[in-house]
Every structure is written in C-alpha cells, then in structure tokens.
Amino acid sequence: MNKDLVGQIAVVTGAARGIGQAIAVALASRGAKIFANTPVTQLSCTETIQACRNAGGDAEEIVFDVSDSAAVDGGFEAIAAKAGKIDILVNNAGISRDGLLIRFKDEDWKRTLAVNLDGAFYCVRAASKVMIKARYGRIVNIASVVGQMGNAGQVAYVSSKSALIGLTKTVARELASRNITANAIAPGFIETDMTLALDEKVRAEHMKGIPLGRYGQAAEVASLVSFLVGPDSAYITGQVVGINGGMYM
C-alpha cells in the first residue's frame, strides 16, 4: 500500500458513513492521521475510526456542525492545537432536501445551502488560516454532477453544489501562491445506503443515463480524492473532476 501521506493531518467532514467514510479510510490507509467530523445530531464516527485503524491508519472523531461558523472555527482550532497543522481538508458533509421549485419551502432552501455551501466555506476559511502559515495545503470539495448539469426537483441541492464549484475555483486562485491547491469532485450516482434504498424502477431509470451502465462505488470516489491530495497532483488546482460513468461529459 502506498504510504505517501504519512505524517499528514486530514480533516474529513461528513465522515460517519458512505462516501465520507470511504474517503477517511482511504487516506488513513496511505498514512494520514484522520480527524473524522460528524455533527452532534447525526451518527458517530465510531465505525469510521475503527475502519481507519483496521486499514493501518489512525483516526479520531471531531464533533461540530459545519453550518455553525463559531463551531467550525472552534473545531479547527482544536485540531490545529492538538496536531500542530492541517494538511488536507475534504468537504464532504452535505444534505439534500428535494422538491419542485414552486412548492419549495424557505427553510429547506436555507438549511440545504447552510450545510452544503456555508459549511464548506466555513471549513475552507478555518483550515486555510493554518495552511497559509505552513505554506502547504490540499483542499477537495465534494460537489455533484447535478451541480454541472442541473436536475429537476433539486433546486436547493443543485444550487449549493454549483456554487461549491465556484467557491473551489476562487479558493484555488486565492491560495495558489501559498502552495495550497483546491479542487472539486463531481460524483454521479454512487452506491450508498441512500441509493440502495431506491426503488428498482428508479435505479433502472438512472442506468439509462449512465453510459457505463452501473452506479459508482464510494471507494472509487475515495481513490480520486486520494490522488488529488497526494504528491502526484501538485500541479492540479481549480479543477472539477467528474466521476459519473459518462453521465455528463
């Protein structure tokens, strides 16, 4: 196993399960120390931490709500104080509250953007303060294919993920002189608890739009993140990398 992240400190938000858990385990297996984030109101990262250790790495839980600016600042200050640095940030935390535009509720709009966009902004701002001093950092934001192509019935989610791409590009330009890269990944349909729960007819309909004819795996997304935070991607910044089976080209 490649151990090119030995000695690095990685923060992964939304790491309790699914794609976030896979990312944490992948980075831990390559030697990074993981701070696995979850908000107070959701699942703990106990399973993620154990999986990281089983993969030969180290991890611990850090609890804060990404949509709470003060809580994010406190969380990152605690990580920096304990670990001495922050090398990698993966903004994976996200929610989706779906519905047609004309019926969409204000509170659902605000909550979706608060977690998916505000949360990423707060985390990038907090982490970059530490990265700038070290003149090194790797930031990866988990966007979505629908943030590139749009999707009916997901006005808030799509808006948040599209804006996250803009945030990524701006951060990349602002922080490049400090040897900090920022990239976004835009997954398509990925096999998670959420997609496994879908009706077979819905899944079959999805497959019609995927040239490779299958859902992606969380481990495939994690592998891409591992590349973007590793030494081989040092000249890549401000990019949106699709991992969608050809759903959007």
Q: Which residues are catalytic?
A: 157
Query: d(Cα 180, Cα 185) in Å, to the nearest integer?
Result: 17
Query: d(Cα 54, Cα 74) in Å, to the nearest integer?
Result: 29
Query: d(Cα 162, Cα 146) in Å, to the nearest integer?
Result: 8
- Amino acid at residue number 86: I
- Amino acid at residue number 242: G
Question: How would you label 78-110 residue by residue, b for 16+ Cβ within 10 Å and e otherwise?
Answer: ebbeebeebbbbbbbbbbbbeeeeeebeeebbe
- Amino acid at residue number 113: L
Which CB contacts under 8 angstroms, 24+ apart, belong to 190-198?
A: 190/18, 190/19, 190/215, 190/216, 190/217, 190/218, 190/220, 190/221, 191/215, 191/216, 191/217, 191/218, 192/17, 192/18, 192/19, 192/218, 193/17, 193/18, 194/18
Residue 168 near residue 184, CB atoms below 8 Å: yes
Alpha helices in the chain (DSSP H): 18-29, 46-54, 69-83, 106-113, 119-134, 146-149, 155-175, 193-196, 200-208, 218-229
